[in-house]
Amino acid sequence: MTLPPRKNRTICVPFHKTAYSDIVKSDVDFRVYIDRITSKYTELFQLDISKGCLMKDMNYSKKLSIFIRRIKVNGISYTIRPSFIMPYVAGFTDDVMDALFFRKFDVPFWALAHVFGRNPMYWYRLENHIGRNSIVGTTIKRAELLPEHIAADETHTRILGNKCYIATTVAYDCILGGVHYSKCR
CA gap 35, 163 in Å, rounded: 46
The answer to whether residues 163 and 152 belong to one domain is yes
The answer to whether residues 129 and 111 belong to one domain is yes
pLDDT at 129: 75
- Number of Cβ atoms within 10 Å of the Cβ of 122: 18
pLDDT at 128: 81
pLDDT at 10: 84
Instruction: Provide the whole-model pTM.
Output: 0.64
The answer to whether residues 139 and 177 belong to one domain is no
Within-domain flag for 1: no
pLDDT at 67: 95
pLDDT at 146: 64
Q: Which helix (H) or strand (E) holds 103?
A: helix 93-103
Q: Which of 58, 85, 112 is the last residue of a domain?
A: 85
pLDDT at 9: 81
pLDDT at 132: 61
- How far is CA 173 from its chain centroid? 26
Within-domain flag for 141: yes
Q: Which of 85, 105, 131 is the last residue of a domain?
A: 85
DSSP secondary structure letter of residue 23: H
pLDDT at 184: 42
The answer to whether residues 73 and 104 belong to one domain is no
Domain enclosing residue 52, as ranges = 10-85
For residue 108, give the nearest of 117, 97, 99 by alpha carbon. Answer: 99
The answer to whether residues 61 and 19 belong to one domain is yes
Q: How many domains is the chain partitioned into structurally?
A: 3
pLDDT at 76: 84
The answer to whether residues 133 and 165 belong to one domain is no
Reduced 3-state DSSP string for 104-158: CCCCCHHHHHHHHCCCHHHHHHHHHHHCCCCHHHHCCCCHHHCCCCCEEEEEEEE
Are 130 and 145 in contact by the 8 Å Cβ rule? The answer is no
Within-domain flag for 3: no
59 phi, psi to nearest 5 deg? -110, 150
What residues in the chain have per-residue pLDDT under 50? 134-138, 184-185
Q: What is the dihedral of CA 10, 15, 20, 26, to 10 degrees?
A: -70
pLDDT at 127: 86
pLDDT at 173: 67
Q: What pLDDT, in 10s, does the model give residues 64-74?
A: 999 999 998 88
Tell whether the torsion through CA atoms of 64, 30, 81 and 17 is positive or negative: negative
Q: Which helix (H) or strand (E) holds 98?
A: helix 93-103
pLDDT at 98: 94
Within-domain flag for 134: yes
